[in-house]
Amino acid sequence: MSETNIKLYLKPVDFSKFKAAPWVQSKFSLGKILEKNQAKLPLDKADIVLIGIEEDRNAVERGSAKAPNKIRQYLYHLNRISPRFKILDLGNIKVGKTANDSYFALRDVCNSLVAQGKMVVVLGGSQDLTFGITKAFEEDPFNLVNIDPKFDFKKGIKTINSESYLNFIIEKQPNLYSQTILGYQNYFVDGLELDHSYELGSELKRLGEIRYDMSHIEPYMRDADVLSFDINAIRLLEAPAQYFGSPNGLYAEEACQIGHYAGMADHLKVAGFFNLIPRLDRDDLSSKLMAQVIWHLLEGFYFRKIEAPGSKREDFNEFLLEIDDIDLPLTFYQSHKTGRWWMKISDEEDSREQIISCTEEDYRMAAQNEIPDRWWKNIRKLNRMQNK
């Protein structure tokens, strides 16, 4: 799809609606760069693109359609990351006659931008829009990471909404390689839901697990193609513009750290931020926080270091570990530049290899003759994709 055709889907940003707060140094603000880039930067020269979508007709609680411009209001107030940051805000996708039309418009826009090598940041809107984003990956395997306090999968439900959209992704997207839920809270999840998620091969990390060591979520982010961030994952005190309203959840700084990891992620192509309801906000606290999470994503993207063990072997340490229960040695790689870790897996017939992100802890487990859980899970995923 050409740049002209993409613009047919979009309403450009009217920057005159976003007046700077008195404390903002306007000439150093992100909004000033975005306004300048809207006038001068061609799409083919941009590295990262913002789009909004004012769609919430399938939300369990309406109101998030008002969020994109509210988030922009506070995002534009924040300081620029670099005066030469090649970033564009293309405006809001025109809402279709039905929510389904909006899903397909979002699919087409994301598909086109990703095909052009752009990373896309989506300002929602309700979280069922994640379904529209994943429709852009119907030709290639993709990894989905959800930041969520619960599982938006309701077995047997045939109607899509912001609490059941995962049904439609898991059941209708054959190229879904991996689905991960980070930050869920166990008292919101039934044991049968847990069992079913494990059967589906989902990766699950409770809030307490990721809080114990936030760096452990980095490998999940590094391999993600799509990120879907539900504001309900943040505790109510710090993000009141939500219908869920739990006293527990991510702290504001943890949400920003997730944004930073997402921006640095080598493979991330689309990141969506959803379910913020401005009419429920107090002092616009949620909009300010979501703007800061997105700012951290943009900063992480600007400073990201793309590296892969298969490219420049001299930039990596390679470790071969013999384990009793596996015929072939486990291969691990560590980057000289960033200290990050990867491991190599292969399918049952040893005909297909894949290098996946991991932690130093995975390496240390293997060094003690223990097979890392991440290795088992990814072997199962690889074999499942091979058999489709």
Q: Greater confidence, 200 or 162? A: 162
Mean pLDDT lowest among 93-107, 209-223, 322-336: 322-336
Given a cut of 60, whether residue 4 has pLDDT beyond it is no
The pair of three-digit structure tokens given for residue 357, joined into one six-digit string: 């992100």
The pair of three-digit structure tokens given for residue 245, joined into one six-digit string: 């309203």
What does the DSSP assignment read for 41-53? --GGG-SEEEEEE
Average pLDDT of span 364-377: 89
Given a cut of 60, whether residue 380 has pLDDT beyond it is yes
CA distance 163 to 356: 30
Of the pLDDT bands very low, low, confident and very high (cuts 50, 70, 90), residue 215 is confident
Domain boundary assignment for the chain: 3-302, 313-386
Of the pLDDT bands very low, low, confident and very high (cuts 50, 70, 90), residue 193 is confident
**How far is residue 99 from each of residues 102, 121, 139, 164, 272, measured CA to CA in Å?**
5, 20, 23, 15, 17
- Count the neighbouring beta carbons within 10 Å of the beta carbon of residue 35: 17
Of the pLDDT bands very low, low, confident and very high (cuts 50, 70, 90), residue 194 is confident
> Which pLDDT score is estimated for 385?
62
The third-level CATH classification (topology) of the domain covering 3-302 is Arginase; Chain A (3.40.800)
Q: Is 15 exposed, middle or buried (0-12, 13-18, 19+ CB in 10 A)?
A: middle
The pair of three-digit structure tokens given for residue 182, joined into one six-digit string: 């980070």
Of the pLDDT bands very low, low, confident and very high (cuts 50, 70, 90), residue 56 is very high
Average pLDDT of span 268-293: 97
Question: Phi/psi at 180 (nearest 5 deg)?
Answer: -125, 135
Q: For residues 120 and 24, is the Cβ–Cβ distance under 8 A?
A: no
Given a cut of 90, whether residue 54 has pLDDT beyond it is yes
Torsion of CA 122, 140, 138, 123, to 10 degrees: 0
Of the pLDDT bands very low, low, confident and very high (cuts 50, 70, 90), residue 302 is very high
Given a cut of 80, whether residue 387 has pLDDT beyond it is no
CA distance 258 to 147: 9
pLDDT tens profile 231-257 = 999 999 999 999 988 999 999 999 999
Given a cut of 80, whether residue 159 has pLDDT beyond it is yes
Q: For residues 271 and 122, is the Cβ–Cβ distance under 8 A?
A: yes
**How far is residue 73 from each of residues 68, 76, 89, 159, 283, measured CA to CA in Å?**
9, 6, 13, 34, 13
Average pLDDT of span 50-74: 97
Q: Which residues are bridge partners to 87 per DSSP?
A: 48
Sheet holding 226-230, edge to edge: 10-11, 87-93, 48-53, 119-123, 270-274, 226-230, 142-147, 176-184, 203-206
The pair of three-digit structure tokens given for residue 9, joined into one six-digit string: 């889907």
